[in-house]
Amino acid sequence: MFSERKIQEIRNQFPILKEKIYSNPLVYIDNAATTQNPLKVIKAYKYYYTKINSNVHRGSHFLSIKATTKMENVRKKIRNFINAKYTSEILFTKGTTESINLVASSISFMIKKGDEIIISCAEHHSNIVPWQVLCNKKEAILKIIPINENGKLKIEDFELLISYKTKIVSISHVSNILGIINPIKYIIDKSHEYGSYVLIDGAQAISNIDLDMQYLDVDFYVFSAHKMYGPTGIGVLYGKKSILNKINPYQFGGEMIKNVSLKKTTYSEIPFKFEAGTPNIVGIIVWGKAIEFVEDIGISNIKSYKEKLSKYFIKRLNSINENEIELYGKTKNLSKKLSIFSFNLKKFHCFDVGSILDRLGIAVRTGHLCAQPLMKFFNVSGMIRASFSIYNTIKEIDYLFDSLLKVKKILKN
Ligand SMILES: *Cc1c(COP(=O)(O)O)cnc(C)c1O
C-alpha cells in the first residue's frame, strides 16, 4: 500500500494539480472523463516537436525513420501491456469512440436482416449509437441486457438473449457511471459458444485492471490514451489478427494502400490497412510515456490504492442520512467496483450542486454522463460523478464531503 508520502510524490509529477480554481486549490475528481498527464508525458510533447517532428512511413530521411521507429515502438509497448499475440493486432484510432465505429463499419458486410446485436443498458453512448445505426441500416435487431437496481448486469437475461442469430456482443468492461466491473470472461466465452464476436469497451478498465488479450480470447478490445494519463484524441482498437484480415478497411487514402492505379487499389497488410492518413504521431509517442508511468507504479498498486479511496468515500457517504443522498451502483464488494461514484443529493438538482462544487475548486462531472438510457433506468435527469485516480487523496474526499454539507446549506436558503 502506498504511503501518503508516495502519493505526494506522484502528485508532484502532475503540474496541473497545483492550479487554483476561483482561488481554491483544484480538487480534480473527474478522472472517468479524462485523466491528467504527468510531466514526463508533457515533456515528451515538447521533445517531439523540438527534435523529431516528421511524417512517418513515407520519407526515408533521418527524422522520418526516427519518428516511425518511436511510433512503432509504442505499438509494441501496447501489445505487451495488454498481452496481445501480435503487434499487428494493435490499430491506432482517435479513441474508444472511433474504435467502436471502425468495428461497426468494418463488419457491416457480415450483418444481414434479422441478425442480432447485443449491448447493455449501462453503455456509454459511443457503445450504443454505432450499433443502432448499423441495425437500422441492415434491418438487424438491437437487444439490450438489463441491469438490476444496483447496476449489475442481469446475466440470466443475457443467457436468454444470446442465440445463433447474435453476430456481435458489445459490452463495457467497466461502466463509466457505476464503476461496476462486468463478468466479461463469462460473456466472451458464452458468446463464442454461439459463434458471435465480442467487443469489449475497456475505456475505464485500461489503467485499473491487468489485461491479457490472449487469456480473455476477446475479438475486439478498445480504449483511449486520455483515460490512462495520456493525451486526448488517440486510442487503440485491438482486434484478433484472423478477424482483422477478414474485415473491410474503415477509411481510404494514404498509408493504407499497397498499390493504387486509377482503376484499382490493393490494401496494405494489417495494421496499416486500417490506418488511413497521417496518424496522431505525437499522441502515440507521448502515450508511450504514459504507459511507462502506469507500469512504474504498477496496476496492482493503482488498484489497491484506489480501493482504499473507495472505502473511505463509502465511509463518508454512509455518515450522511439515507434520505439525503442516493448512490447509484451499490456493491458490498469494493474490489468488484472501480473508484467511480455517481450520486445525487436527493433534494437538489445535480447542476446546482455541481456549479457550487466548481466554485469551491472541485471538478466533478454532472448531467447525463454520456449514458441517457441509464439515467432513464434510474429515473433521473442527471447525476453527479466523482471519479478518483492515483493522485487523489483522503483529504480531497474529506473536502468533497465537507463541501457537500456547504452546498446543502447554500441551496436550502
Ligand atoms: C470515455 C469513455 C468512452 C469514450 O471515449 P472517447 O475517448 O471519448 O472516445 C467510451 N466508453 C467508456 C466506458 C468511457 O469511459
Q: Say what the pLDDT of residue 269 is.
A: 93
pTM over 0.95: yes
How far does CA 70 lie from the centroid of its chain? Answer: 24
What does the radius of gyration of the chain's CA atoms come to, in whole angstroms?
22
Decide: 208 in ligand 1 pocket, CB within 6 A. Answer: no
pLDDT tens, position by position, 84-115: 999 999 999 999 999 999 999 999 999 999 99
Q: Phi and psi at residue 147, in whole multiples of 5°?
A: -120, 160
pLDDT category, 119, cuts 50, 70, 90? very high
pLDDT tens, position by position, 275-330: 999 999 999 999 999 999 999 999 999 999 999 999 999 999 999 998 999 999 99
Mean pLDDT of 133-147: 98
Say which residues have a Cβ less than 8 Å from residue 83's Cβ, sequence separation at least 6.
211, 212, 213, 214, 215
End-to-end CA distance of the chain: 43
Q: Which helix (H) or strand (E) holds 242?
A: helix 241-244
pLDDT category, 52, cuts 50, 70, 90? very high
Q: Say what the pLDDT of residue 109 is.
A: 97
Average pLDDT of the chain to the nearest whole number: 96
pLDDT at 149 over 90: yes
Identify residue 372 by its one-letter amino acid code: Q
Total H helices, total E strands in the chain = 14, 17
- Ligand 1 atom 12 nearest Cα: 203
pLDDT tens, position by position, 233-253: 999 999 999 999 999 999 999
Q: Say what the pLDDT of residue 105 is.
A: 97
C-alpha cell at 372: 441517457
Q: Say what the pLDDT of residue 413 is.
A: 73
Please state, in angstroms and rounded to a whole number, the distance separating the CA atoms of residues 231 and 285: 10
- Spell out the domains of the chain, with CATH numbers in brackets: 4-30+298-412 (3.90.1150.10), 42-294 (3.40.640.10)
The atom of ligand 1 lying closest to the CA of 226 is 7
pLDDT category, 60, cuts 50, 70, 90? confident
Ligand 1 centroid to 257 CA: how many Å? 29
pLDDT at 138 over 80: yes
Helix residue ranges per DSSP H, 117-170: 129-138, 155-161
pLDDT category, 373, cuts 50, 70, 90? very high
pLDDT at 271 over 90: yes
Residue carrying the nine cell digits 502515440: 284
pLDDT at 59 over 80: no
Choice from 201, 206, 287, 340 to test ligand 1 binding pocket (greatest atom count within 8 A of CB): 201
Q: Say what the pLDDT of residue 75 is.
A: 98
